Structure 1
Amino acid sequence: MALKYALVHEWLTPKATGGSELVVQEILKSVEADVYALIDFESTNPDSYLFKRTIGTTFLQQFPFARNGVQKYLPLLPLAIEQLDLRGYDVILSSSHAVAKGVLTGANQLHVCYCHAPMRYAWDMTFDYLHSSTAGRGAQGLLTRYLLHRIRQWDVLSANRVDYFIANSNHTARRIWRCYRRPAAVIYPPVDTERFCFQPQKQDFYVTVSRLVSYKKISLIVKAFNRLGKPLVVIGDGPELKQIQQLARSNVQVLGWQSDAVVEQYMTQAKAFVYAAFEDFGIAPVEAQACGTPVIAYGLGGTLETVRDVREYGDLGTGVLFYEQTEGAIVAAVKTFERYQSALNLEAVRSHALSFSPTVFQDRYRSFIERCYGEFHQHLSSTNKRADEYSQSTDI
């Protein structure tokens, strides 16, 4: 009899189109599963791969302004995810960066979680969040700190509901161990490498593509290029757009939001892609490499696994890493890149990116689920056998 699968993700909205949503899309190509989420506004979106699909949701679906994101209802997220009734499934697959892994499951159900990251605002970025938000100040700040404390407690508790963890990078696997004391297999997320064409002839400009939010450090990149005087193109939208436009000098073009076609054009033609964020994985640097475009990136987190420093890898190198999120470190990295640029093999840059393709992800994910199911039921059978033997030995 065929196994029944359920796939649980946090939220599905047209505004949520990042790496975790790409993982959901590729999981659904790997296994046939029913989909559940806290909220769903994608099944009514004609442009979505989930259009007209039946998706199970929670009571948050009916809350005011839920379409713009349920993060505003943070205290209710653990309660909401626990209301999903998944008793009719053999295998539960969760795609989690917040609470999806906290669904309730039975003893005979296998639960495999693809963890994009433990909740950032509850763990690694707690103090960034408190210091940058009015919610972190005064009496409200005390309440926020208590709320985050309780969420951390629930987060650790809910990790025990997962049978097997998958991490999107070795960096995330270390974070999962730090927060939950659970091992995690690493399966890199899928990157649509075929979307980008290989272009060996580059033009004389640099590019960065990003949401314009503080932790992406776009302002640092702009300040560095203000000093360098070299041409930089900034593509993206977000709350820091006006600030970055005011900061940029004449050598820096800030284009704001652009269509996929325009993004692909600039990423393909740029001499290098510049990336200063600290990410658990980071899809944009891999997309750039798929164009044969080298990457200058902050060397902590996921980029340590996706960008090969030319100084270490030689003709297999794909860019240059820097190790401080400072203006000076970026300036030095750009100068280093220009010294080593001729040593980079752009075909090798493209080839490296292809190791993160969707087909590679699907094969590895499917194989891992099959292995987990075999191990889980072997363990379940041996546990039941021991329980029966114990019961018989204690019969009076």
Structure 2
Amino acid sequence: MSVDDHSAMLMSPTNTASLPMPQEWDVEPERAAVPPARRLIRRIAEAWRVPMSDAALRDVELCAGELLANAVEHTHARCRVTVRWTGERLRVEVSDSSLALPDRETAEDTVTGGRGLLLVQGLAHSWGWHPTGPGKTVWFECAADQLITGGRRLAVPRTRCQRPGREPLDAFGVTPRTCPATPRWPGRCHNPQPRNQPRNGVRMDAPRGSFVTLDGLSASGKTTVAPLVAAFVNGLHLTHDALPTFPRMRAEVDATGILPARFHWWLMANHLTSETARTLTESGRTVVVESYFPRTIATHRAMGHDSAPAYPDGALIPNVPILLEVDEQVRQERLHRRAERGTLSYWHQREEPNVAESSRTYRAFGLLRVDGTGRTPEEVARAIADIVRSRVPHSIEEGNGQ
């Protein structure tokens, strides 16, 4: 098969077998969180090696920035980002807690320049929104490059019968299967195709059923690296916020200021993550979790809670447990920037004076150390992905991790 034939096959609308896992994560309700989030969307697309030019990916970044800015400005609460590759388009969804309808006629003064949804309408192949629980999801799709000539991207014609605010329809007025209308919580992503097969130019050769956890001190880069690792190994980035009530419950527990209450609440959240990961890995999926039992136990030991540095009975033990580290000066600079933005929590400030205890606890867990100093998030994620691929998953045991 020639290169041209192979490219044509990748771009064929009928070549929808074995798509990469959708990636989801939460974005903090602050202006400073918007640029890193939209850059992360691009990094995931590049990790998937989607057939999109730099110009197309810049369009994706701009559109994502507008949706994220709207969510940050109007809800003042966390929003959830979902990125999917459908085989023909990159789909980005931003879910927030507001029922206010998106208004493309109003270009408000947002973080990315005040262009509003008019920019999304002009750059995206299609866009729309739908209600989700207590809020809504706004989405857009940018098409893969059909032809790149002289650096100019030739856009795919807009889908027939497309109306703003509705799911895209094909030429026959049918909603394509590759554009799911209903967002799914982690662990419920629609991906019925066989695993570990070439996926539209994406290398998917990670071991089946690996359970990867990323732990480490505050500002070590876990939040940025975790979804990238999941993208590189075609895994599922599983977050604690899988339950719609999680943010509210977390805020209520944090507000009490009671250390034992917070510790046991986080144990409960980790046990829920453990059971979800167990189900997914048993079905052959690779799961990536940011901040697991080691993080909970290390943090609370540093704050004075007496708890053994071991996995609780019945917890799923990761076969790729990563300790993400970074030079202390770099970490302190990141913490300083958080403090300046007002995003350094009371609990983080309480842990820092005794952070040496956190480090001792991590060592007791015997985690695999990965140093991110002087490396980009992509380089760190690729290093972890190489570890995942090199470790044959053993029979993951239950117990105390000894």
User: Which structure features the higher share of helix residues?
Assistant: 1
Fold similarity call, TM over 0.5: no
Larger Rg: 1
- TM-score (structure 2 length as normaliser): 0.30
